[in-house]
Chains A and B, each alone.
Chain A
């Protein structure tokens, strides 16, 4: 007999399948990311009611099927819906972005409670507080760290030149190398992004601190632009696809 597994989970995405079924992806606390089929989900008034919407925190019950990649979802009970996330386009855009990049950077079945906690904390923060660029970048950097893609920001990734010894130098970011490159090394790479000393400083600061730490100063728009460009391109590089929700951030969210 197949064992029924139960775990807290966050709904990443759900799409209709056939007449009344749904294919749903979850980030679970105990079994990593899983995708499964919820039979009769569209009509269900008991097993899945209001609990398969993206961002929902649920108690998921499922079993693994002997064939195929999809698990069979037995039920999903809503624990918390983060209700304020759907009260503004700004919040919907931020939450969608957090969920999409987490989905894109985490592989199926890789158990990681810290990533689950990180996404849960991120959604809770958005549900209670207005999001900011600082929160967003901090979330991204911590997520990259948790999944093993922490960018190297203290030295040139190729020649190891220490950034602190050259505080006013112009740096470049290479998504392929996973870190900053000094001016001479950047010429050896085609796809690098410019990153000024101020932007590297802010990124290093955010990498070390919690997102709730208040910002010391407001940033010039050129620095913000460099930071957004570098972090998003780095995430896309590892996701190996475009971030579909990213245009919504710029259109509807105040960053």
Chain B
């Protein structure tokens, strides 16, 4: 049996989402069909407005609401918040990484999102990232420390090394997030690279 046209269209659209196959898409579509009409309308409204109202913050390039706040440029809530430490910037690869660091509630400074990493094998150089904008911020601001929180991959390390090379001459301290044992981990089951990094980065207690 074939699905009625509107249902088939929704299943087709949902199955384009990451991690959603056709079966999952059909299950979600049936759920929406049986659900409360107001909830469905609210979901449709949220999806419709998502791209209209969310853009990139012109300062940190994280996600930001595009509606200007009190006539100010549409900076994101982090950049607008003057209570945060204005002399520290945490550099991350993608907007999702900013949200992950923010959830830790350990960092109270500002952010800068690069939108990618340097990748020699893919031919992605520093010019393809938001590094120029970061350097502009450092030249015109009062930043004293840049914390590089790129992933511990080959590309992430290449990006961190490059940032260190271009930022240090500006007199700004460059630090790298630590690598090692996860909380609740078990030494016996930790891979050798992670364990090696944990020992390398040990500190006095």
Contact = CB atoms under 8 A, between A and B. Distances in A.
B18 A244 contact: no
B193 A248 contact: no
A54 B157 CA distance: 12
A142 interface: no
A75 interface: no
A89 interface: yes
A1 B187 CA distance: 36
A245 B196 CA distance: 29
A19 B196 CA distance: 29
A87 B19 CA distance: 35
B154 A245 contact: no
Q: What range describes how many residues of B lie at the interface?
A: 20 to 34
A88 B161 contact: yes
A51 B165 CA distance: 28
A244 B123 CA distance: 5
B120 interface: yes
Contact of A89 (B121, B123, B165, B191): B165
Q: What range describes how many residues of A lie at the interface?
A: 20 to 34
Interface string B186-203: 000101111010000000
B162 interface: yes
A87 B154 CA distance: 10
Contacts of B189: 45
A232 to B, nearest CB: 15
B123 A49 contact: no
Contacts of B196: 83
B154 A54 contact: yes
Contacts of B96: none
A92 B120 contact: yes
A35 interface: no
Contact of A53 (B153, B165, B194): B153
Contacts of B122: 244
A163 interface: no
B125 interface: yes
A78 B120 contact: no
A108 to B, nearest CB: 18
- Nearest first, the 9 closest Cβ-Cβ pairs linking A and B are A244-B123, A96-B120, A19-B19, A245-B120, A86-B157, A248-B120, A50-B193, A49-B191, A92-B158
Interface of B: 18-19, 120-123, 125, 153-154, 157-158, 161-162, 165, 189, 191-194, 196
